[in-house]
C-alpha cells in the first residue's frame, strides 16, 4: 500500500525546474500557432487602415511635391509648394487665427472643465444628472449645435442680443456677432468651449480619482485652506492629466472646421467669414484644394499643419515632463 501511494505521488509530481541559467526557448512552430489567432484578428484592421488611411496619406505626401491640379499632366517641382506656403500671407493670417482660436478654446475648456469636475467630485445631490447635462453637448452633432448658435447670434432676433440689450441693458443696439470681423472668430470659439467642457470634465474626474483623500485630510489637519490643498495636493496629481488634455485639445483646436464652415456660410454666405476673419488653416486648405482645384498645394498645406501640431505637442509634452521631474 505504501509503495502504491509513493508510485502515484511520483506520477503526479511536477517536473523539476530547469537548472539556473538555462533559458527555455519556445519553438517557432509553437509560437506561430499561439500567435496566429491574434494576427488573424489584427490583420483586417491593418488592411482597412492601410487602404483608407495610410496609402492616401502617402499619396498626398508625394502629391505635395508636384503641381497636380486634377486636370492635365503633373510634374515634380520639389519644395515649391512648401516655399509658396511660407511666402503666402493668407496662410500666415489663417495660422494666426487658428492659434488664437486654439488658445481660447483650450484655456476655456480646461478651466471650466476642471471647475465642473471639482464640483461633481463632491458628494452633492443630483450629481449624475449634472454629469449628463455637462456631457450632453459632447455627443451632439457639430452641424446641429452650429446652426443653433447661428440663431443665438442672429443680429436681428438673436437670443444673445435680446439678453444683452433688452434684459441686461449692456448694449444699446443689436450686434451682428458673426458678421463683424472683430467678434466673428471669438463667437465661434465660444461654441468650441461650450461643446468641449463635458469631455474635459470627464477626463479631469478620472484624474481626481487618483488623488489620495488621506493627503487632503492631513493637509486640512495641518491648517491648510481649500485653495492651499487644491494648489499643493490636487494640482500636482493632475499634471499627467493636464498634459494629456493640452495635447489632445491643441490638436482639436487646429482641427476646427465644421463649426467654422457652417456658421460662416450660414451667417455671411462665405467660407472665411467677414474679411476672412474666421479663416483658419483647415478652411484655407479646403479652399485651395477644392475651390481653387490646387490639390498639390492643399496637400502641402495639410502636411505643414500636421508638422506644426506635432511640434507643439512635443514641446508641451517635454515641458510637462520637465515640470514633473522638478
Rounded distance between C-alpha atoms, residue 210 and residue 203, angstroms = 12
Among 23-27, 97-101, 147-151, 223-227, the range scoring the smallest mean pLDDT is: 23-27
Contact predicate 85/304, CB 8 Å: yes
Q: In this predicted model, what pLDDT tens digit does every residue of 10-63 receive, in sequence order?
A: 544 555 555 555 555 667 777 777 778 887 888 888 888 888 888 888 999 999
Q: What is the pTM of this model?
A: 0.82
- First-last CA distance in the chain: 71
Rounded distance between C-alpha atoms, residue 197 and residue 144, angstroms = 17
Residue 101's nearest CA partner among 253, 247, 311, 265 is 253
Most confident segment among 102-106, 229-233, 241-245, 306-310: 102-106
Q: What is the mean pLDDT of residues 139-155?
A: 92
Per-domain boundaries in the chain? 17-63, 80-325
Q: Where are the alpha helices (DSSP H) in the chain?
A: 2-12, 28-49, 55-63, 80-86, 89-120, 127-135, 142-152, 159-161, 184-208, 213-221, 226-229, 235-237, 239-254, 258-268, 281-286, 295-325
pLDDT > 70 in the chain, percent: 91
Secondary structure of residue 16 in the 3-state scheme: coil
Q: How many CA atoms lie within 13 A of 65 on its CB side?
A: 7
Among 42-46, 107-111, 152-156, 321-325, the range scoring the smallest mean pLDDT is: 321-325
For 194, 310, 312, 317, 323, the CA distances from 247, given in Å and listed in that order, are 19, 9, 8, 8, 15
Architecture of domain 80-325: Orthogonal Bundle (1.10)
Amino acid at each position: 500500500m505504501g509503495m502504491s501511494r509513493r508510485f502515484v505521488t511520483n506520477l503526479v509530481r511536477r517536473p523539476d525546474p530547469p537548472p539556473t541559467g538555462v533559458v527555455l526557448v519556445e519553438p517557432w512552430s509553437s509560437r506561430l500557432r499561439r500567435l496566429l489567432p491574434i494576427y488573424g484578428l489584427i490583420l483586417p484592421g491593418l488592411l482597412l487602415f492601410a487602404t483608407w488611411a495610410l496609402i492616401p496619406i502617402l499619396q498626398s505626401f508625394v502629391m505635395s511635391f508636384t503641381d497636380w491640379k486634377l486636370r492635365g499632366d503633373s510634374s515634380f517641382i520639389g519644395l515649391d509648394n512648401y516655399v509658396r506656403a511660407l511666402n503666402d500671407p493668407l496662410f500666415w493670417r489663417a495660422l494666426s487665427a487658428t492659434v488664437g482660436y486654439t488658445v481660447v478654446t483650450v484655456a476655456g475648456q480646461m478651466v471650466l472643465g476642471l471647475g465642473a469636475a471639482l464640483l461633481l467630485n463632491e458628494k452633492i445631490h443630483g450629481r449624475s444628472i449634472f454629469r449628463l447635462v455637462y456631457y450632453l453637448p459632447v455627443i451632439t452633432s457639430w452641424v446641429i449645435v452650429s446652426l443653433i448658435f447661428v440663431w443665438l447670434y442672429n443680429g436681428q432676433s438673436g437670443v444673445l442680443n435680446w439678453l444683452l440689450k433688452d434684459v441686461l441693458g449692456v448694449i444699446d443696439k443689436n450686434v451682428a456677432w458673426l458678421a463683424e470681423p472683430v467678434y466673428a472668430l471669438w463667437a465661434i470659439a465660444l461654441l468650441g468651449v461650450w461643446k468641449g467642457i463635458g469631455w474635459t470634465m470627464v477626463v479631469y474626474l478620472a484624474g481626481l480619482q487618483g488623488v489620495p483623500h488621506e493627503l487632503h485630510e492631513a493637509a486640512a489637519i495641518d491648517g491648510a485652506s481649500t485653495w492651499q490643498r487644491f494648489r499643493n495636493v490636487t494640482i500636482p496629481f493632475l499634471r499627467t492629466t493636464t498634459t494629456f488634455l493640452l495635447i489632445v485639445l491643441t490638436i482639436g483646436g487646429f482641427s476646427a472646421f465644421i463649426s467654422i464652415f457652417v456658421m460662416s456660410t450660414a451667417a455671411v454666405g462665405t467660407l472665411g467669414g467677414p474679411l476672412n476673419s474666421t479663416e483658419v488653416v483647415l478652411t484655407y486648405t479646403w479652399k485651395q484644394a477644392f475651390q481653387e482645384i490646387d490639390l498639390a498645394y492643399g496637400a502641402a498645406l495639410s502636411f505643414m499643419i500636421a508638422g506644426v501640431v506635432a511640434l507643439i505637442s512635443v514641446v508641451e509634452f517635454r515641458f510637462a515632463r520637465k515640470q514633473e521631474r522638478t
